[in-house]
Homo-oligomer: A and B are copies of this chain.
Amino acid sequence: MKLVKVANQVSIKRSVEVGTKEQRDTVKNIIKNVRARKQEAVMAYTKQFDGVLLESLLVSSQEIEAAYREMDPNMITVIQEAAQNIRSYHEQQRQTSWMMTEQNGTILGQKITPLSSVGIYIPGGTASYPSSVLMNAIPAQIAGVRRIVMVSPPDQNGKLPASVLVAASEVGIKEIYKVGGAQAIASLAYGIEGIKPVDKIVGPGNIFVALAKREVFGDVDIDMIAGPSEIVVLADESAQVNEVAADLLSQAEHDERSSSILVTPSESFAHKIAAEVKKQIADLPRKDIVEKSIRNFGRIYVTRTMDEAIEVVNELAPEHLEIMTEQPVEILGRIKHAGAIFIGRFSSEPVGDYFAGTNHVLPTNGTARFSSPLSIDDFQKKSSVVIYSEVAFRKHAHKIAAFARLEGLEAHARAIEERMK
């Protein structure tokens, strides 16, 4: 890992998924065709990209039952327990509609309404991501979204992974379609025979999915376009070298472009971590990815003091922050920007990725400066409510009309004055 003594220059190497011109054109073309020829186009793309000619996109109850039989029962229990933890945490995020009443009869309020329908994209390919199903679906459910649809690309046998189907079934998703890529995003945004359009699309995906989400944004809402994942560990000599190194490596296995960063005021600790990272890499199954990620994006920032280290963390605004210092809890109040903050030795990032209950969909690329973890806020919207009383109106009408005229909007002023006639 590259060791950097900090003066002023710190950064997470940003990389945003804008794709090549060819990829963007491909995506635009797929969306156009799906809008024009609907299911016919989707079936053709599924044959082309996923290598399977499906009879039906909808996952049947038989397929769900088969998935349960296929799964290790212990893993089903783990998924259920994780789902329960995620539910408990996100239930705390509930907000309620409120109103303020005035003596003169006026009522002002804020009404909270769930989104009507949401689509969740779950990537396919070689891996399966049941945890993503839980993390995206449960907040939508708690927010009160009535219709939650899941889409995921089928394998060459026309199947979805058992773990993904079980996770979806555990959180009560009824509508699951075997469709992936830009054609899935287009189907969700504009509808095809058998799939009604949704109001928002969430969930991770490859470059084609990311570009398609960008393309349909505005017609429907989307969640963030996630960049590569990052971890920053803030640690001093009280931390366990093997644990810090292992946490850095767990981030690096996601993607060659993932960033694993240590910030520490101890140069000797920094050297120990660098050596331990090297040692642990040796027998990791995803060694190639990990090595590239560590070489290109791995950093150890050595600062003069802990105060300076905290400043560096705030500059980085990481997606994941682990604090493993002598007094980690005392540092929490000084963290300005981070998607998720893991405090102390036993709060290893995978605890939050899978099980503790917090969401693993987090702002990447330094956007923790202004963005939040996925939450039930993403699945509700607010309306302001004005019930203005006659007493209030008669008292303030002339001021409102004057304000409108100050801005040159005469028809606004007259709308008020028509009521004074």
Contact = CB atoms under 8 A, between A and B. Distances in A.
A379 B92 CA distance: 21
Contact of A368 (B95, B383, B393, B411): B383
A249 interface: yes
Residue of A247, A368, A382 with most chain B CB atoms under a 10 A cut-off: A382
Is chain A's binding surface mostly helix, strand, loop or mixed?
A: mixed
Contacts of A21: none
Contacts of A348: 388, 415-416, 419
Interface in A343-368: 343-359, 362-363, 365, 367-368
Contact of A369 (B115, B126, B412): B115
B414 A246 contact: yes
A81 B252 CA distance: 55
A106 interface: yes
Nearest to A77: B399
Interface stretch (A25-33, A128-136, A170-178): A128-136
Interface of A: 16, 74-75, 78-79, 81-82, 88-89, 92-93, 95, 98, 100, 106, 108, 110-111, 113, 115-116, 126-131, 163, 199-200, 218, 220-221, 240, 242-243, 246-247, 249-250, 252-254, 280, 284-286, 290, 329, 332, 335-359, 362-363, 365, 367-373, 375, 377, 381-390, 392-393, 396, 399-404, 406-416, 418-419, 421
22 contacts: A81-B399, A92-B98, A116-B337, A116-B369, A131-B407, A220-B370, A243-B418, A246-B414, A284-B410, A284-B414, A286-B411, A329-B387, A340-B386, A344-B388, A348-B388, A350-B416, A351-B386, A351-B388, A352-B384, A353-B412, A355-B403, A377-B377
- Enumerate the 4 nearest inter-chain pairs by beta-carbon distance, A residue then B residue, closest first: A221-B370, A346-B393, A358-B384, A372-B382
